[in-house]
Structure 1
Amino acid sequence: MNQAFTRFESISSSPGAASKASLRDLILSNDLAFLMEAHDGLSAAIATQAGFKGLWASGLSISSSLGYRDANEASWTQVVDVVEHIVDATDVPVLVDGDSGFGNFNNARLLARKLEQRGASGVVIEDKGFPKMNSFVGDRHPLADINEFSGRLKAVKDTASSDFVLVARIEALIAGHSLDEALIRAHAYAEAGADAILIHSRKAVADEILAFAQAWANRLPVIIVPTKYFRTPVSNYRNAGISTVIWANHNMRAAIAGMRNICSRIHSDESIAAIEEQVAGLDELFSLIGYDELARAEERYLPGPRK
């Protein structure tokens, strides 16, 4: 089993400092990139061990793990604190779901500065007002004014370093607007300094996403989140020149399903004997968290017993 990365294994620089450029490389690469959702240090370690080259710090999953709805109920400071744990648990770049920036240009630039300080490699800001609602909940998704949102993007670009990746997320299709409206917004956000465009859809097929990609013609890299149109073959994204696919909430959803099953079994059986083989062993948990590194550090730094 591969050893997990721990915050103490990079002694020359922080994980974030080493990773920022590689997120830009992933997004700009000619190869289709995949980012896996993480919502805490443990899920980050698992996704990294599975082989993912980058992580998505999901607003939905982080909010859910804290017991909040994905409607800006979790504060930006709580999100930033969780992101720090995610960054500490991995050596791959972390792209953060920044919702709508938690307010106006001033809130957005403060968020970006704090995320970069905690080692995040980039942030996605969506063109909604504050508070926002999860894109798959209900039909009320008012969009931000294009010029006002462009100001948020400019503020982030002027605040963060050149290595920090800014992704503008377009919610026009989610809100029921036309492809033309999505393209108008994409062009405005490119002019405002976005490094990439995330185009989102709630339909079960990828038609409008692929139509956007064709019309956009790769002016900036296109990132997608195929949560609803999951049956679309990945080859379609490659053929369309899509830059990056985000698997946006699947660690959290897997955890819910697994914990519900185990809790129900233990409650009904009043025993853990029958489920012991179905859950990860303690040795696996200790390996993921890096107890072996702690043991090596003790040998190096703790004095031995006196003779």
Structure 2
Amino acid sequence: MTSPAAALRTLLANRELLVMPCCHDALSARLIERAAFPATFMSGFAVSAARLAMPDTGLISFGEMLDQARTICHAVTIPVLGDGDTGYGNALNIKRTVRDYAAAGLACIMIEDQLSPKRCGHTKGKQIVSFDEACLRIRAAVDARNEGADILIMARTDARGPAGLDEALRRMRTFHDLGADLLFLEAPQSIEEMQLFCDTVPGLKMANQIEHGLTPLLPKGELQRLGFAIAAYPLTLLQAMVSAVEAALVDLAGGSHPSGLADFEHVKDVLGFPEYYREEARYAKRCETD
């Protein structure tokens, strides 16, 4: 069988922009796969919101993220990329995080250079570690991959806000040279900055498309023209869920029944009831012998 990492490498080798809605649980990942998207990303912001109802400010733990990753990967067959935050400690912690994320079934892990506890890249108060510490994190992640963890390494920098674009680009170039498979410059603030990133840094790059965030929200064709390999949408499904649930609650509170709900048969189909019933019937048959 093809491993998740190998499947992701095949997708990236096609050189067509990989449009990737992000998930927060097994159900959202299943819906992404059923909509024929070839990959998804486990968003730390979205998991913190869905699992804890807490902000993405470093409150969710390694164990909780690992458990969520395992559950998501078991629910789908498409490659799942995962948010590894700062790696949850020193170089040895990072190597363990990479190995355990790979064992959970993730195709790629993202490691970033924020000071722990980290926070969403489009919120205030971000701080980054030194250049040397940032490089150490990526070296440790790459070493874990090279020592046998079957997983890609995405290197992320949040330096654009606290240290400026030049420092962010410097880190991206160095992370590429250290062996990162994918590069993610968080929160460029204009199309010109996005273009400069793609033009001056080698390697495969991801664009983070957050509605009402700091980075321009661009059409697929424009992102591909700029030179991005992946377009991630980390909060789109979470925002859609919040809007839909709040609207349904308003209707119920007002004495009416919500409209536009998914049909119950469709929900059962999404969750795998037909497959369960077929298996149940198969094992209910009496054993026949000669």
- Residue 284 of structure 1 corresponds to 266
Q: What is the deviation of 1:110?
A: 1.6
Which amino acid in the other structure matches residue 118 of structure 1? A
- Residue 56 of structure 1 corresponds to 41
Q: Given the superposition, is the C-alpha separation of residues 225 and 231 from structure 1 closer, same or farther in structure 2, using an over 3 Å criterion?
A: closer
Q: What is the deviation of 1:304?
A: 4.4
Count of aligned pairs: 282
Structure 1 segments of 4 or more deviating over 6 A? none
Q: Given the superposition, is the C-alpha separation of residues 231 and 154 from structure 1 closer, same or farther in structure 2, using an over 3 Å criterion?
A: closer
Residue of structure 2 aligned with 1:300, choices 278, 282, 285 = 282
Q: TM-score, normalised by structure 2?
A: 0.91
- Contact 1:37 1:56 (C-alpha < 8 Å) held by counterparts: yes
Residue of structure 2 aligned with 1:183, choices 138, 155, 169 = 169
- Contact 1:201 1:209 (C-alpha < 8 Å) held by counterparts: no
Larger RCO (CA under 8 A, 6+ residues apart): 1
**TM-superposition CA deviations, 1:53-85 (whole Å, max 9, x none):** 000100000000022220111111101111111
- Residue 243 of structure 1 corresponds to 229
SS at match of 1:259: helix
- Residue 37 of structure 1 corresponds to 22
Q: TM-score, normalised by structure 1?
A: 0.86
How many Å separate the matches in 2 of 1:162 and 1:25?
Answer: 18
Residue of structure 2 aligned with 1:143, choices 123, 128, 142 = 128
How many Å separate the matches in 1 of 2:56 and 2:253?
Answer: 30
- Contact 2:5 2:151 (C-alpha < 8 Å) held by counterparts: yes
**TM-superposition CA deviations, 1:167-216 (whole Å, max 9, x none):** 101111132x333212211122122221111111163x432112211122
How many Å separate the matches in 1 of 2:207 and 2:156?
Answer: 9
- Percent of pairs with identical residues: 24
- Residue 226 of structure 1 corresponds to 209
How many Å separate the matches in 1 of 2:219 and 2:88?
Answer: 34
5+ unaligned residues in a row in structure 2: which ranges?
none
5+ unaligned residues in a row in structure 1: which ranges?
1-12
Q: CA RMSD in A?
A: 2.0
Q: Given the superposition, is the C-alpha separation of residues 103 and 180 from structure 1 closer, same or farther in structure 2, using an over 3 Å criterion?
A: same
Which amino acid in the other structure matches residue 139 of structure 2? K
- Contact 1:170 1:200 (C-alpha < 8 Å) held by counterparts: yes
Which amino acid in the other structure matches residue 283 of structure 2? Y
How many Å separate the matches in 2 of 1:119 and 1:134?
Answer: 24
SS at match of 1:167: strand
- Residue 158 of structure 1 corresponds to 143
SS at match of 1:123: strand
Which amino acid in the other structure matches residue 51 of structure 1? A
How many Å separate the matches in 2 of 1:185 and 1:46?
Answer: 35
